[in-house]
Amino acid sequence: MKKIKKAFTITELVIVFAYFTVVAGVSFLLISRGVITAENSFSFVFSTDGIPVFEFLYKLIPAPYFYLYPLLPVLALYFYLLARLAQGRRVVPFRYRGEKTQINEEKAN
């Protein structure tokens, strides 16, 4: 069994962090221009929406967006566990309909 590389988990965490940072920035821009409101941005960055975990974190760090930072280690653990579950499993490669692959050619022969 291969050992899971920590770099993969860290890379995924950085990508998720970057995604949420971009989404928060775009949402903030749209909210500040009056295009949408914080309530219908479908983002928990600006509102806790009564979710107890988010409300607790907001009490600890009373700043929109930044109050979610303590969840990054939780996400890292989640990604690590997903990688452990998927470790050693064979995945059929994606192909477009009608595209020939080595697996299809082996079945045909």
Q: Is residue 96 part of a domain?
A: no
Is 95 inside any structural domain? no
Question: Higher confidence at residue 92 or residue 31?
Answer: 31
* Measured distance CA(62)–CA(92) in Å, rounded: 46
Within-domain flag for 20:
yes
Query: Is 71 inside any structural domain?
Result: yes
Give mean pLDDT, residues 82-86: 82
**What pLDDT does 56 receive?**
94
Please check whether residue 82 lies inside any domain of the structure.
yes
In the chain, the number of structural domains is 1
* Residue 34 within any structural domain of the chain: yes
**97 found inside a domain:** no
Lowest mean pLDDT among 20-29, 70-79, 87-96, 97-106: 97-106
Tell me the residue range of the domain where 24 lies. 6-89
Has residue 1 been placed in a domain?
A: no
* pLDDT tens-digit series, residues 32-76: 898 888 777 766 677 777 889 989 999 999 988 888 889 888 888
Instruction: Work out the end-to-end distance of the chain between its first and last CA atoms, rounded to an integer number of angstroms.
Output: 31
